[in-house]
Amino acid sequence: MPRVKRGSVRRAARKKLSKLTKGHFLNKSKLYRYMKESADRAGRFAYRDRRRRKRDFRRLWILRINAAARCNELTYSQFMNGLKKMGSELDRKSLAEIAARDAEAFAALAAEVKKTLAMPAGG
């Protein structure tokens, strides 16, 4: 079998890995074995956290909506139930934005929700 030295291929692979781990602490950015470990670990965290970010933002939006709803004598669940009955198309992201930046508009929306919830179930 012929001998394969892999000179430029090996160098290219290490260079690519070095670029991935630039800025990592101590040996994790300098020595090949530790660069591999560090890059693998970072990749796992990145993969996990791309999914986690969506959950975290949804939790944040719900917290903001709940806080603003409670300032208007409603709970989060009552507020969302009223919005659903109103047939509102606003999602949690935009509701949280309104709650954080425009309290008057959110108060008007909460008043509409209260009216909707006060109406009898049949009408």
List the single range of 34-38, 47-51, 82-86, 118-122 with lowest mean pLDDT.
118-122
Task: Indicate the pLDDT class of residue 77, thresholds 50, 70 and 90.
Answer: very high
| Residue 122 pLDDT greater than 60, yes or no | no
Task: Indicate the pLDDT class of residue 18, thresholds 50, 70 and 90.
Answer: very high
| Residue 38 pLDDT greater than 60, yes or no | yes
- Domains (ranges, CATH) in the chain? 10-118 (1.10.1900.20)
**In 1-123, where do the E strands start and end?**
none
pLDDT on residue 123 = 53
Neighbouring residues of 120: CB distance < 8 A, sequence distance ≥ 6: none
| Residue 121 pLDDT greater than 80, yes or no | no
List the single range of 59-63, 82-86, 116-120 with lowest mean pLDDT.
116-120
Euclidean distance between CA atoms 74 and 80, whole angstroms: 10
Euclidean distance between CA atoms 5 and 23, whole angstroms: 30
Tell me whether residue 87 is exposed, middle or buried, using C-beta atoms within 10 angstroms of its C-beta: 0 to 12, 13 to 18, 19 or more: exposed
Give pTM, 2 decimals.
0.79
pLDDT on residue 119 = 85
- What's the whole-number average pLDDT of the chain? 94
| Structure token digits, residue 43 | 């990749």
